[in-house]
Chain A
Amino acid sequence: MKTFYGTHLPNPLMLGTAQYPSPAILERAFRESGAGVAAVSLRRESGAGQTFWQMIRELGVLILPNTAGCHTVKEAVTTAHMAREVFETPWIKLELIGHTDSLQPDVFQLVEAARILTEDGFQVFPYTTDDLIVGERLLEAGCEVLMPWGAPIGSGRGLNNEYALRAMRVEFPDVPLVIDAGIGLPSHAAHAMELGYDAVLLNTAVARAGDPQMMARAMARAIEAGMLAHQADPIEPRDMAEPSTPVIGKAFLS
């Protein structure tokens, strides 16, 4: 498995911490999935922040703070600085939202913010589209990880553009690639791993499932299955049947 800015992950699942029915269920989902990375955010302190921080620390996982909801470079950069201080990590999941309904990243501002933050010592995990040229620009800006969307955040639609995601894998063979957003089912996560992606970041699919703990387990197993399948060098699909049982030696009975 590739490293993320020099860090080995225990497994390829990065799990968000939002929208769970309760903190206890969040904790169980993490334990059940074995996820090694927790996505977190910053919001105005209303008293709940310190309890949440304590719980996340006790999970013993790596912390990936995000800049969710930021629409400008300045906003994202300021948020990243605040996150680095609060969470004591140079990692930042850089989100720069360009469209309110689809939450599609504003890739132009994303590249600019990635450059500023990299120069400032951050290790940027950019939430991006599946556009190859944007990917190249992000790498030029100093990113060592790319996180293309599978589908819009929270939509649960899976991998909307398999062709583009395949192309991205081929174009950037040595770059850790993470499918971030859009996963709804374990089969989607397995699909991402079968394509050779290095990790999957998901949240809603687990947190909003009827049984988040069980879904967390299902996701972890699907991700492992997909990863093993990719490593096992799967067969190519073909149009016509090819008998798997040997033809030679069949008894002549007609």
Chain B
Amino acid sequence: MKIVLNGAPHDVCAQTLSELLEECGFSGRVATAVNESFVASSLRISHKLADGDRVEVVAPMQGG
């Protein structure tokens, strides 16, 4: 399945958001959004991905 992950195109086997995180090596404290909508961590396991989905995975960063 072709998706866009953090702005870059990816071809992945994952069917759900939690599988995607595992496949792409994300661990620790991250938050996710799919197609510009927040997906809570508890819902990642049931969140099915579709071709062309835009996934954002963010983490803590310096800020002011």
Contacts and interface: CB of A to CB of B under 8 A. Distances in A.
Contacts of A39: 63-64
A176 interface: no
Contacts of B60: 40-42, 49-50, 52-53, 56, 86-87
B15 interface: no
Contacts of A52: 59-62
How many of chain B's residues touch chain A, expressed as a range? Answer: 20 to 34
Contacts of A86: 29-31, 58-60
Given A53-B29, A82-B38, A86-B31, A45 B58 contact: yes
Nearest to B58: A42
A17 B6 contact: no
B20 interface: no
B58 A16 contact: no
Given A43-B59, A45-B6, A82 B64 contact: no
Interface string A168-211: 00000000000000000000000000000000010110010000
Contacts of A231: none
Contact of A42 (B28, B31, B40, B41): B31
Contact of B63 (A50, A68, A74, A81): A68
27 contacts: A17-B63, A18-B64, A40-B62, A42-B31, A43-B59, A44-B57, A44-B59, A45-B26, A45-B30, A49-B28, A49-B59, A49-B61, A50-B27, A50-B28, A53-B60, A56-B60, A66-B63, A78-B37, A78-B38, A81-B40, A82-B58, A85-B31, A85-B40, A85-B41, A86-B29, A86-B59, A203-B64
Interface of A: 16-20, 26, 39-45, 48-50, 52-53, 56, 65-66, 68, 74-75, 78, 81-83, 85-87, 153, 201, 203-204, 207
A-B CB proximity, top 9 nearest: A49-B59, A41-B63, A16-B64, A203-B64, A82-B31, A45-B59, A43-B61, A81-B38, A18-B62
